[in-house]
Amino acid sequence: MIDNEDCVEIDVTRLVVRKRGAGKPLLILHDELGFPGWMQWNDVLGESREQIVPLQPGFGHSEHLDWLRDYRDLAAYYARFVRQLGAPVDVIGFSAGGYLAAEMAAIDPGLFDKIALVGPLGVRPAHGEIYDFLAVTARTHVAATVSKQDAPEFSKIYGGKMGPEQFMLFEAARAETSRLGWQPFMFDPSLPALLKGVTNETLIIRGTDDLICPLGCVEAYESALPNATISSIEGVGHRPEIEDPDAFIRLVRNFLS
């Protein structure tokens, strides 16, 4: 299976992109803690899709871009990347990556074909609050993302003692997230109004035990997007893709097929 890391030049900037698999392109937008590496669900989808994961500026080896001030800035920057890639593409965005996908769609719905949002942040919850993960330590933040800490893939990537290198990566990711999403915290007040014009087929996936993204958030998305449906996965938290990969894969495969 092809697995590589490219540097894509967008104007004078360089965006690091991880790729895996072959087939119709699928853009994957990682969450606020960064790309966790290829998981089981990637192995399965990689059989029929080329998965393309840009590493957000300031995360991993992607250069920090000082002029980025909010998720809409980032969305406009990523829109250029998708146009270079060849729009439209299917997209799946996780948490802050879902926020980013929604902002991109609001800027230009033609960037995407189908849109999957997993525990997406980005809109003011109809009720409840987005969990303030910047007011807790990195370890507490990571732990809050799952309801099943013993899920095999979670244990594999985040279990055990956190090493200094991993801690610094988390802190860099959290610092970038703070730059873009500190206030209002991880939502854009004008996004729901702009999403009214996004008619793409959209699937919103949420774990029923999600602590980070409240039910009110996905409900707000559902009422803003004209063609969206919500699918819940029972008994999992904010990372259904690693807490219950089988259920997650079923939903995503059906949706993208």
Interface with other proteins (CB under 8 A): 134-140, 143, 162, 164, 167-168, 171-172, 174-179, 182-183
Choose between 32 and 90: whose C-beta lies nearer to other proteins: 32
User: Residue 254 CB, nearest distance to other proteins (Å)?
Assistant: 37
Choose between 42 and 62: whose C-beta lies nearer to other proteins: 62
Question: In this structure, which amino acid lies at residue 257?
Answer: S
Choose between 2 and 168: whose C-beta lies nearer to other proteins: 168
Two tokens, residue 216: 């009110």
Choose between 38 and 185: whose C-beta lies nearer to other proteins: 185
The DSSP bridge partners found for residue 51 are: 20, 26
User: Residue 47 CB, nearest distance to other proteins (Å)?
Assistant: 37
Distance CA(87)–CA(103), nearest Å, equals: 16
User: Residue 183 CB, nearest distance to other proteins (Å)?
Assistant: 6
The DSSP bridge partners found for residue 10 are: 13
CB contact at 8 A, 107 and 75: yes
Secondary structure of residue 143 in the 3-state scheme: helix
54 burial type by CB count under 10 A (0-12 exposed, 13-18 middle, 19+ buried): buried
User: Residue 140 CB, nearest distance to other proteins (Å)?
Assistant: 4
